[in-house]
Amino acid sequence: MSWARRAFDMVFGPCDAIRLTSFRALFCYTLALYSLHRFQYAGEWLTTAGYHADGRVVAGQYPFPPLPPAWLPAFAVVYLGSLAALCLGWRPRLTIWPTLAGVIYVTFVDRLSAFTINQLFIAVLGILALAPPITRGPDGRETLRSAWPLRALQVTLALQLFGAGVCKVLGEWPGEGDILWHQVQYMYMTEAAAWMVRTLPLWAWAGLQHLALGFELLAPALLLVPRLRPLAFLLALGMFGMIAVTMQHLVFFALQMLSFFVLFADEAWLARVRGALRRRGG
């Protein structure tokens, strides 16, 4: 078989669906936590009761009109209900569409109030919505008819990490040792970050900074080689755990990014974990 045919089969041929379904569950749980947090301010963000800058001043920022306050409970029931069903795996090919529509609406009703991670939620839900059906064989094994959604999401993670590293190289990260030390003291600074700034020496911050940079630049290779993936998982847990602990509200970004690493997890291990969870649940 030629290399071109092997590459085609790897991208478009059938594959085990457990990585994709596990990722879908974790990714949607992350979206649920993020949505519940943001819905604390839903009246100000999504309805006419809140402040929205004049569209004539910020043209293009408000493609969707805000909701009348009386409509907010109905919107919450539809959006959060479909998201809950998606998290639980109930008819995912149906429930993903109102979830995607809801995320698009809450993002673009007031783009100035939305966070960057909203864009990734939209892109990933779009890929999952367009994914081919998952079939179940005689042995009960779930199979994805075409692997392209899995490959697209795997490439997304590798490019995100590598792109972040390249941006840091083009900035001042390689030549300076106190950039991370400064960054954790910005507006998102937590109590844990304040303690770390007072306690850790500057050389420790420089080491963490360059370790994160090296991980991002080497991420495609670490994820591509199966034997190196445990190292990638460990570094990712450390880096995004650090972000979650030291930067307020960025825990949702950290959880969003960590969910992607399930796409590279060992399929047999995922099957054992899923089996253990099912036995424990009933």
What are the DSSP calls for 177-232, one per residue?
S-HHHHHTTSTTB-HHHHHHHHHS-HHHHHHHHHHHHHHHHHHHHHHHSGGGHHHH
| Cα–Cα distance measured from residue 158 to residue 228, given in angstroms and rounded to the nearest whole number | 14
Q: How far is CA 141 from the centre of its chain?
A: 26
Which pLDDT value is given to residue 241? 96
Alpha-carbon distance 172 to 213, whole Å? 11
Query: What is the identity of the amino acid at 64?
Result: F
Predicted TM-score (pTM) of this structure: 0.92
- Average pLDDT (119-146) is 90
pLDDT of residue 4: 79
**pLDDT above 60 for 57:** no
From 70-84, 112-126, 190-204, the region with the lowest mean pLDDT: 112-126
What one-letter code names the amino acid at 233?
Answer: F
What average pLDDT does the segment 125-141 reach?
88
Q: How confident is the model at residue 51 (pLDDT cuts 50, 70, 90)?
A: confident
Q: What is the mean pLDDT of the chain?
A: 90
pLDDT of 175 above 90 = no
Average pLDDT over residues 200-204: 94
